[in-house]
Amino acid sequence: MALRTIESLGELAGKRVIVRCDLNVPLKDGVVTDDGRIRASLPTINALVHRGAKVIVVSHLGRPDGAPDAKYRLGPVAQRLSELLGAPVAVAADTVGDGAERAVAQLDNGAVAVLENLRFNPGETSKDTEERRAFAESLARFGDAMVSDGFGVVHRKQASVFELAELLPSAAGSLISTETDVLDRLTERPERPYTVVLGGSKVSDKLGVIAHLLPRVDRLLIGGGMLFTFLKAQGHAVGGSLLEEDQLETVRGYLAEAKERGVEIVLPTDVVVAERFAADADHAVLAADAIETGPAGASGIGLDIGPETAARFAELVASSTTVFWNGPMGVFEFPAFANGTRAVAEALTRVPGLGVVGGGDSAAAVRALGFTDEQFGHVSTGGGASLEFLEGKKLPGLEVLGWA
């Protein structure tokens, strides 16, 4: 069954439409430092504005633990949204109280208001169904319809994602529609050759993805901190690098399964090893099977894939028709250890088919390194949600919108 779309809601002029966005963006000194998720919400918000709806945007920001917290207020986010829309955006002082009531009551057709952080209310993320539903009912009184467009939270059964969509006529926004279409292509109908690039710190974060995609891909490239568990599983020493000893047998199982299926697992042949975890640490490029001979010997820390590996990964990525990438290749926040991530990102811009940046740290990395979203086939807004979708899990925020 397909997702319900905004068209299923009928005439929206003059109607109050609650839009659940994911505006959980980084802030520094009260200023948005990466507005990617705000930009991703614009098509749906603009579509509703143009249809004459009274648009009520709701979102979370950070983890304020069910109570108001000044550093997680949505004022700066609303300000950036206003700049991008080129129109005023009202900001409510609360989520379901008097401030929200006034903000909604004063909305004209085609105008936008942002209610305060959903997670200032314990009912939003409560494990208790009745508590979540009670909060959803408080939100629902502000709306005639609900549009769910925060893909980054559809894997969570939260009040504004699940119960609110049950209480009001609901549909998926264009962001969620695009995300599900892209991820469905990656899992069910990829064009070949199909390459998946996985990085980040831990193998355990990607186990489900590896298991679900191994029967579907042509090759799997492994970088980031998780590469050292793969190297160790092959019998190599990894010095003081990040290692998950409890995942070694699982990784050996994946290596064996890949060989049996004819899937190529490509591991680094060289690694940038530093004497300590620091931006200015002394470092050297070592063969992947000789990590303990470099800086600080057995305590050396691998912080990036090496140049030989980066070139090989780039070649394989750029020559693929479908690529999914999730997780940096190294500690990209430190310039000396960002080269591997940069090489993969640049190669992804040259994929002739569908090249997908899998959200989370990967999306943050490409922007931090100077790439724009428009250079890629798709930049996901939901790291965790994307991974769970690719693991084949049922996502409650999609099921409630008709996805099956």
Tell whether 37 is in a known binding site. Answer: yes
Q: Is 62 flagged in the annotation as binding?
A: yes
Paired tokens of 178: 């695009």
**Is 394 marked as a binding-site residue?**
no
Tell whether residue 23 is among the known ligand binding residues: yes
The residue behind tokens 């991008």 is 84
Q: Is 333 one of the annotated binding-site residues? A: yes
Residue 41 near residue 85, CB atoms below 8 Å: no
Residue 206 labelled as part of a binding site:
yes
Q: Is 359 annotated as a binding-site member?
A: yes
* Spatial CB neighbours of 374, under 8 Å, sequence gap ≥ 6: none
Residue 41 neighbours by CB under 8 Å, 6+ apart: 19, 21, 22, 23, 57, 81, 149, 173, 175
Signed CA dihedral, 79, 80, 81, 87: sign only: positive
What positions carry a catalytic annotation? 37, 202, 360, 384
Q: How far is CA 67 from CA 24, 64, 78, 153, in A?
A: 17, 6, 20, 19
156 known ligand binder: yes
Residue 34 is labelled as binding a ligand: no
Q: How far is CA 139 from CA 107, 163, 172, in A?
A: 16, 10, 18
- Determine contact, residues 267/340, Cβ cutoff 8 Å: no
SS (H, E, C) 353-376: CEEEECCHHHHHHHHHCCCCHHHC
185 marked ligand binding residue:
no
Residue 22, annotated as binding a ligand:
yes
List, as residue ranges, the binding site for substrate.
22-24, 37, 60-63, 119, 156
List, as residue ranges, the binding site for ATP.
206, 302, 333, 359-362
List, as residue ranges, the binding site for (2R)-3-phosphoglycerate.
37, 119, 156
List, as residue ranges, the binding site.
22-24, 37, 60-63, 119, 156, 206, 302, 333, 359-362
